[in-house]
Amino acid sequence: MPTVLIIDDNAAVAIALDVLFSLHDIGALSATSPEAGLAILEHTSVDLVIQDMNFSADTTSGEEGTALFRDIRRRHPDLPVILLTAWTHLDAAVDLVKSGAADYLSKPWNDNRLIATVTNLIELGQANRSLRQRVQQERRVRRDLEQGFDLRGMVWQDAATERVLHLACQVARADVPVLISGPNGTGKERIAEIIQANSLVAGGPFVVLNCGALPAELIEAELFGAEAGAYTGASRAREGKFEAADGGTLFLDEIGNLPLAGQMKLLRVLETGRFERLGSNRERQVKVRVISATNADLGAMIRAGTFREDLFYRLNVIELRLPALAARPADILPLASSFLARGKSLHHCAQAALLAHAWPGNVRELKNVMARASLLAAGDIIKAADLGLPVTVAASVEVEPDRDAIVQSMARANGVVAQAAADLGLSRQALYRRMERLGIAR
C-alpha cells in the first residue's frame, strides 16, 4: 500500500486527509511540525508528502513552508511534494512549484482533484523508482564487465550489445568453438578479440583469416600450409594459419566461403587437432581455439548442399548473434564520438542525423563517416551537413535541444550566449527562453 506523509499543524486537516486516503487504499502518516515531519522521513519510506505552508499562529508569509520544502528537496530530491495553503496569495507556492514541487492546492481542497493528483504522482514515483533500479542494475553489470574482463577498448551503450559482451566473456574460458553471426561491419572481429583476451590461451597468438578474401584454391594452403611444389608457384614450404595459431586462437572470418574440401579438413582438425600440409603425408598436431564468424545463413547453405551440417554443429557449440547497428541505436552516438578526431564534437542536429540514418554498412560505415566529417568540418563542431548523409524527414526536422545540449554549448562558448545560440542554431532570444524554462543559470 502506498503511503503519504501529511505535515500540518492542524489536526483536523490530517484526520480529514487520512479518512479520504483510506477510502482509496492509501496509507497516511501525519506530523504537526516541520521537525517531526523530517524525523519521520529519516526512518520511514513514504511515496509522497503533503505539507502546509504555515505552521505558526498569525503567520501567512509561507516562509516556514518554503524552508520545509527546501529541506525535503535537499534530503530526498526525488520525493514528490504537494503544497497546501489556506491563503489566496499563492506567490510562494507558485515559486516552489517552479523549483520542483509537484503541485499546490488551496484549502479547502477538492477531494477528486486531490486524489487524482496523489494517485498520478504515486504511480509516476513508482515508475521512476523502477527505472532508477533498472539503470543502477545496468550500471552494475557494466562496471562488473569493465572491471572483470579485458574488453579491448570496446565502446557500447546498448543493452543488445551488452548481452553479447556478457555471453562472450562468460564463454571465453571454455575450450569450445564459438560462432559469431551478424551482418558485415558490426564488429565481429572485436568480439573475437575479447574472447581471446579473456581465454585460457590469452597469452598465445591471435591469428585472423578472412575466408572470403582468398581464391577457393588458396584457402586450404592458407589454413594448413603447403610443401614446396604443392601447387603452381609454391617454390618453398610455408606454414598455415593453424600452425601459426598453435597455443592460441584462430579467427576464421566469413567461414561460409570455405569450399567443401576445406570444410572436410577443418572438421577433422576441430575433432582431432591433426592435419597435413598440402603436398605432405606427415601429420602435424596443434592445439588451437577456433572462433569463426559469418554474415551468411548457414542453415540455408546446409539445405543447398554448400556447407557441411556436421561442421556447422562443430563450429556452433556457442553462437553469439551480433545485431546490426540500426538494431542497437544506443551505440550510435558513443561510437560516433569515439571515432571523432580529438577536440571535435557533434552538434545536436548532427546527432539527430546519425540516429535517423539506417546504417546499412554498420559500424564500418559509421567510422568512415566520422573520419570524413572530422577532415571536412570547418570548425570543431560537426554539423549535420558535414556528415554527408542522405537527408531524411527525421533528420531535417529541427530538434529541440535538451538541457544537456544547452549546458554543453554554454560551456564551449565560455558563457557567451550569442555564441552558444549560434552553435545550437537558435536566436539569442530563443536560447534565453529555453534556459529560463529549464532553469539554467545565465
How far separated are the first and last CA of the chain, in Å rounded?
Answer: 43
SS (H, E, C) 361-425: CHHHHHHHHHHHHHHHCCCCEECHHHHCCCCCHHHHCCCCCCHHHHHHHHHHCCCCHHHHHHHHC
SS3 84: strand
Q: Which three cell numbers mark 341?
A: 578526431
How many helices and strands, by DSSP H and E, does the chain display? Answer: 20, 14
Count the neighbouring beta carbons within 10 Å of the beta carbon of residue 288. Answer: 23
The stretches of 8-158 forming alpha helices (DSSP H) are 11-22, 34-43, 63-75, 91-98, 111-148
Residues in the chain: 442
| CA 166 – CA 191 distance, rounded (Å) | 11
Q: Which residue has the cell 504515486?
A: 122
Among 80, 60, 85, residue whose Cα is nearest residue 8 = 85
Q: Which three cell numbers mark 425?
A: 542554431
- Give, in order, the Cα–Cα distances in Å from 252 to each of 12, 266, 271: 78, 11, 16
pLDDT of res. 398: 47
- pLDDT tens, per residue, the chain with 442 residues: 899 999 998 889 999 999 999 999 999 999 999 999 999 999 999 999 999 888 765 565 678 888 898 899 889 888 899 888 766 455 666 667 666 677 777 778 889 989 998 998 888 888 888 888 888 888 888 899 999 999 999 999 999 999 999 999 999 999 899 999 999 999 999 999 999 999 999 999 999 999 888 887 788 888 988 888 767 666 788 888 999 999 999 999 999 999 888 898 899 899 998 988 888 888 899 999 999 999 999 999 999 999 999 999 999 999 999 999 999 999 999 999 999 988 899 998 899 999 999 999 999 999 999 999 999 898 899 999 999 998 654 444 445 677 778 887 887 777 777 777 777 777 777 787 788 777 777 6
Q: Which three cell numbers mark 220?
A: 586450404
| CA 176 – CA 39 distance, rounded (Å) | 59
Specify which residues 382 forms β-bridges with. 346
- The reply to whether the predicted model has a pTM over 0.75 is no
Q: Which three cell numbers mark 225?
A: 600450409
Among 387, 394, 318, residue whose Cα is nearest residue 346 = 387
- Give, in order, the Cα–Cα distances in Å from 18 to each of 29, 85, 112: 8, 18, 15
Q: Which three cell numbers mark 403?
A: 538541457
